[in-house]
Amino acid sequence: MILVTGGAGYIGTVVVRELLNHGFAVRLVDKLLFGDEGLEEVKNRIECIQGDLCQFDPAWLDGIDSVIHLGGLSNDPMAEFNPEANKKLNTEATAILGEHCKRKKIKRFIFASSCSIYDRGLLAEDLLQDEESPVEPRAAYAVSKYQAEQELLKLSGPDFCPTLFRQGTVYGWSPRMRYDLVVNTFVKSAFDKGILTVHCGGEMWRPLIDVTDIARAYIVCLQSDLKTIGSQIFNLSYKNYRILELAHWVRKVFRENGMDIEIEVEYGSTRGRSYRISTKKTEQIIGFRPQVSVEESIQTMVKKIQNGIHADFNNPKYYNIQWIELLCMAENILKKTGGIL
């Protein structure tokens, strides 16, 4: 059985389906802050536990062979909103989970880290970075992911062999949709406003990967020899794109669907994140190469939205920081007023 933390999230709901399609039994642990609607189709095929990783229950690991750890705060705005929670969830809870896995001799552990660790800023020298490149993560989110990597690697040994995926910015369709990721945001803006606004001249580089390709990478990892992939870091990306290039891909797809979209480029700011990565190690050692291009993924999103699925763009559930801010506001009100009824 596979344990998936954060399995009700944007990536998790896709990963769970991919695991089921490959015949794996799945146990899911998620706090369900965003609900469990994305699991509706598969609820009767999985074991779903509503739980907080900061209050970890070792019983969650009973009968588990492998762990896919996706749980935590997911981007820069979330980390900046509550730096303490960011560190607690992304670093400390990850280390505790790793320790429990090691005690139970659960060797196979996949950790969803982030390529934002490589961010050097728009003004830095443009380098193609690999897993051996020196890194100095700057933002709180990237720091928390890097520190979590270090904690897991410290635990590495015969009884615990984690595989750490530094994942590019994710795009694509998910049952738990998000519109706060760069490609998805462009698609939403094209529908909602007919204009794509590109900051910093669109010069920023970003490694990107479709959510279904991430799920496929995990499957390949679960089926690989631990002696080959254990206790190592791997970059995971389809391709490095400039942000302005992404805007043009979105416009191309929308034109093919009979909609004309404008691109508005803003100049002046130099504060954008920018980094390029190499995926040679992943291709050579794991033998995995992503398949879903940005163009193909955008086509899928356009068709889904045109059919009215996740087309209510103003719903705060599609934007992690907006939803968390709303929940915190409601929580503070309820502390003062007591129950609703």
Beta strands 205-210 and 239-242 are antiparallel
Mean pLDDT to the nearest integer, 329-339:
85
Q: What is the mean pLDDT of residues 252-279?
A: 92
Q: What is the DSSP letter of 9?
A: S
In Å, what is the CA distance from 88 to each residue of 11, 55, 96, 106, 141? 21, 11, 10, 23, 11
| Concatenated DSSP letters of 235-264 | EE-SEEEEHHHHHHHHHHHHHHTT---EEE
pLDDT for 286 beyond 90: yes
DSSP symbol at 150: H
Q: Count CA within 13 A, CB hemisphere, residue 40.
A: 6
Which pLDDT score, from 0 to 100, does residue 336 have?
86
Round the average pLDDT of the chain to a whole number and report it: 94
> Which of 130, 290, 276 is closest to 207 using CA atoms?
276
The CATH label, of 3.20.20.110, 3.40.630.30, 3.60.10.10, 3.40.50.720, for the domain at 2-322 is 3.40.50.720
List the chain domain ranges.
Answer: 2-322
Radius of gyration of the chain (CA): 20
Q: 294: part of which helix (H) or strand (E)?
A: helix 294-306
Integer Cα distance of 116 and 120 in angstroms: 9
pLDDT score at 254: 97
Confidence of residue 258 (pLDDT cuts 50, 70, 90): very high
Contact 67, 110 (CB under 8 A): yes
Q: Is 50 exposed, middle or buried (0-12, 13-18, 19+ CB in 10 A)?
A: exposed
| 76 has pLDDT over 80 | no
pLDDT value of residue 341 = 64
Distances (CA, A) of 300 to 65, 164, 250: 34, 29, 12
Give the percent of the chain with pLDDT over 70.
Answer: 98
Is residue 79 over pLDDT 70? no
Q: Is 300 left (phi over 0), alpha (psi -120 to 50) or beta?
A: alpha
Q: What is the mean pLDDT of residues 202-212?
A: 96
* DSSP per residue, 157-199: BTTBEEEEEEEPEEES--SS--S-SHHHHHHHHHHHTSEEEE-
The one-letter code for the residue type at 234 is: F
The tally of CA atoms less than 13 A away on the side-chain side of residue 75 is: 16
Higher pLDDT, 290 or 269: 290
pLDDT exceeds 90 at position 305: yes
Q: Is the pLDDT of residue 169 over 70?
A: yes
